[in-house]
Amino acid sequence: MKLRVLILVCAVAALALGFGLAGLQRRYVAGVFVPDGQAFGKRPGSPATDDTVYSFPTPGTWPAGLAWDGQYFWVSDIDDAMIYRLDTVGSIMRSFAPPDNFGSGDLEWADGHLWFVSEVEGLLYELDTLTGAPLRSFVLPDTGTPRPSPWGLTSDGQYFWHSQYGNARIYKLDPANGQVLFSFPPPTSSILGIAWDGFYLWGVDISSLTIYVMNPPDSSAVASFPGQLPYPLGLKWVGPDLWNVDGNFCRVYKITGVSGLAEKGKLPVSGPLGSICPNPFASRAVIRWTSSGDAGQEPMVFDASGRPVRTLVSGRMPSGSQSAIWDGRDDAGQELPCGAYFVRLHIADRMETQRLVKVY
């Protein structure tokens, strides 16, 4: 009798365990595939700091997001479920709990306000910088994938750029209402931290540990280089350097010598787009290129946010040297503000982009 009871108890326990394991869901947290109900695991490795000249420790044991307010860094931490304001040696100047009480997601400082991406809630929060209380929030894009995995956030001074590694997409968002204005697929599917340098969008891939320099107008990667941190998350540009927080070693690293990489990574001058002169320009710039045949050609000008503003030429042209003049105006004849622009030339199946700057 006792043996039968023991067998029945064991069978019920095994059945319950089976249902429990079958019902165990798996999810991503900060790019790591982990099961619910278990301790979060972080990636093994040791940092190689050949490209870093300075670093400082973070207070928590799983730093994630990173922002710079012009004087202090802000770091979100998953293990502590806190957001910290730190000086450049890692001392805590202020701290508060994130609105989702979790802390997994990127941070950005824009126009005097702190913003937080909640990976677990799929929301973008504007926070009170004294208390951490949410001032407003927007629902982040969700393309219907099982795990959109919202993460990265950076501002170009006018719009937000937001990365999602679950559906491999980078979005341009209106900060007034969170509306999607533009999106493109990044070079790889695991871009988390992103940063804006005033001309290009930078992104770090946690799978290949590669840092990419991206040109939003044509969605191209103009340069890339291997990163040195085993678990790179938040990424921010504090010119002329990148700063990257590492989730394994709980430090913020300064990465130097990267400001010229985008220039070096541009498509070769032997391509169809030859020169832009003068650059920078005040009243007009001459764009020259070479056509190898009677092919459709469409040199276009984009602003720094990726919006097309002027079509210089459209249609077929004979082979040989070609040129067009841009007077700094849009297609409607309106004078455009000073700043960075991009000229994209599309001939047949070839495309090339170069940057030009309009000044007073």
Range of the domain at 110: 52-264
Q: Reply yes or no: is the peptide bond before residue 280 cis, omega within 30 of 0.
A: yes
* Confidence band for 346, pLDDT divided at 50, 70 and 90: low
**Better pLDDT: 196 or 351:** 196
Q: 128-148 pLDDT, tens per residue?
A: 999 999 999 999 997 555 566
Integer Cα distance of 234 and 153 in angstroms: 9
Tell me which of 240 and 172 has the higher pLDDT. Answer: 172
Is residue 100 domain-shared with residue 183, that is, in the same domain? yes
- CATH no. for residue 235? 2.130.10.10
Residue 74's pLDDT is: 98
Identify which of 92, 119, 123 has the alpha carbon closest to the alpha carbon of residue 105: 119
Q: Are residues 96 and 130 in the same domain?
A: yes
Domain boundary pick from 247, 264, 281: 264
Q: How many domains does the chain have?
A: 2
Whether 86 is covered by a domain: the verdict is: yes
Please check whether residues 80 and 214 belong to one and the same domain.
yes
Q: Are residues 75 and 63 in contact, defined by beta-carbon separation less than 8 angstroms? A: yes
Co-location of 350 and 222 in the same domain: no
- Strands 150-155 and 134-139, by their bridges, are unpaired
Both 188 and 165 in one domain: the answer is yes
For 41-148, strand residue ranges (E) read 52-57, 63-68, 73-77, 82-86, 92-96, 107-110, 113-118, 123-127, 134-139
| Amino acid of residue 230 | P
Q: Which residue has better confidence, 129 or 282?
A: 129
131 lies in the same domain as 183:
yes
Say if residue 138 is in the same domain as residue 230: yes
Q: Is the same domain home to 198 and 305?
A: no
Residue 50 has pLDDT above 70, yes or no: no
Residues 278 and 255 in one domain: no
131 occurs within a structural domain: yes
- Inter-residue contact 105 to 150 (CB < 8 Å): yes
Most confident among 90-99, 218-227, 328-337, 343-352 (mean pLDDT) = 90-99
pLDDT in tens, 97-113: 999 999 999 999 998 89
Q: Give the CATH number for residue 333.
A: 2.60.40.2550
Asked whether residue 259 falls in the same domain as residue 307, the answer is no
CB 45 within 8 A of CB 54: no
User: What residues contact 105, with CB distance under 8 A and at least 6 apart?
Assistant: 64, 65, 76, 98, 116, 117, 118, 119, 120, 150, 151, 153
pLDDT of 13 above 50: no
Q: Are residues 56 and 94 in the same domain?
A: yes
Domain end position, chosen among 195, 229, 264 = 264
C-beta of residue 281 within 8 angstroms of C-beta of residue 356: yes
Per-residue pLDDT tens for 154-211? 998 889 999 998 788 999 999 999 999 989 888 888 899 999 987 789 999 888 888 8
